Each structure stands twice: as structure tokens, then as C-alpha cells.
């Protein structure tokens, strides 16, 4: 089982944990392309997602709030990824496309 580790600001951490926020956004930039895909063809970004060509295949995400040893964390199902605009109420800028990480159910919590 592959796990993606991400750190969040408290507002987004709490909204995802409560079930209010169902997706997380990451910029379409080389850093995130490399974290999410082992091979990535920027000229055909949509096809890469449809065919899952090179997708690393994460099945869950560990979200953390902060960097201390005893920081709050939770594990959540990772349901998939899309490229599209996000919800401005959930931190996305209007008119900007993102890697949209679709989230499922919370599996486990720590230090809450």
C-alpha cells in the first residue's frame, strides 16, 4: 500500500477531517508532477491521467498539521486524481486548474 504524505494548514486539516472538504489541491508544477507520477508527459497531461500512465498509485494519504514529533495526523483513502478547477471555498483560486486529489473516508487518527 503506497502512502502520500502531505502537510496542511489547520483550517484545511480540520475541514478534511470533519468530512466538509472532499478534495485537496496541488499546483500543476514539476514538483507535484514528480511526486504523483513516475513518468509524466506535460504535453499530454489529460491523457496521462486518463490512462494512469506512470501514476505512482497511492492508495492513502497521511495529512499532518505542523512539523512537531507529536503533530496531529490522520490517514484517509485516496480515491483518485483529476485535473480541473477547484472549489474557491476550499482554497482553490478561481479559473486555475490543479491536480485535484479526491478523498474518501478517514481510516485512522493520531494526536488529535
**pLDDT value at residue 91:** 96
Which residues is 19 bridged to in the sheet?
A: none
How many folded domains does the chain comprise?
Answer: 1
Q: How far apart (Å, rounded) are the C-alpha atoms in residues 96 and 88? A: 10
Q: b/e for 83-109, b at 16 or more Cβ within 10 A?
A: eeebeeebbbeeeebbbbbebeeeeee
**pLDDT value at residue 84:** 92
**pLDDT value at residue 61:** 96
Mean pLDDT per block of 10 residues along the chain (112 residues) reads 93 97 94 77 53 68 94 95 93 95 96 88
Where residue 65 sits, what CATH number does that domain have? Answer: 2.30.130.30
Q: How far apart (Å, rounded) are the C-alpha atoms in residues 46 and 8? A: 26
Structural domain range at position 9: 2-110
**pLDDT value at residue 16:** 98
How many Cβ atoms sit within 10 Å of the Cβ of residue 53?
14
**pLDDT value at residue 54:** 52
Amino acid at each position: 500500500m503506497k502512502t502520500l504524505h502531505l502537510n496542511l494548514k489547520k483550517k484545511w486539516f480540520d475541514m478534511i477531517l470533519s468530512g466538509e472538504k472532499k478534495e485537496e489541491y496541488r499546483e500543476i508544477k514539476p514538483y507535484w508532477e514528480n511526486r504523483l507520477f513516475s513518468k509524466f508527459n506535460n504535453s499530454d497531461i489529460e491523457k496521462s491521467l486518463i490512462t494512469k500512465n506512470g501514476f505512482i498509485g497511492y492508495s492513502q494519504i497521511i495529512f499532518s498539521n505542523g512539523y512537531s514529533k507529536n503533530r496531529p495526523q490522520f490517514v484517509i483513502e485516496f480515491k483518485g486524481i483529476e485535473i480541473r478547477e477547484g472549489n474557491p471555498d476550499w482554497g482553490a483560486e478561481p479559473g486555475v486548474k490543479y491536480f485535484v486529489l479526491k478523498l474518501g473516508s478517514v481510516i485512522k487518527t493520531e494526536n488529535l
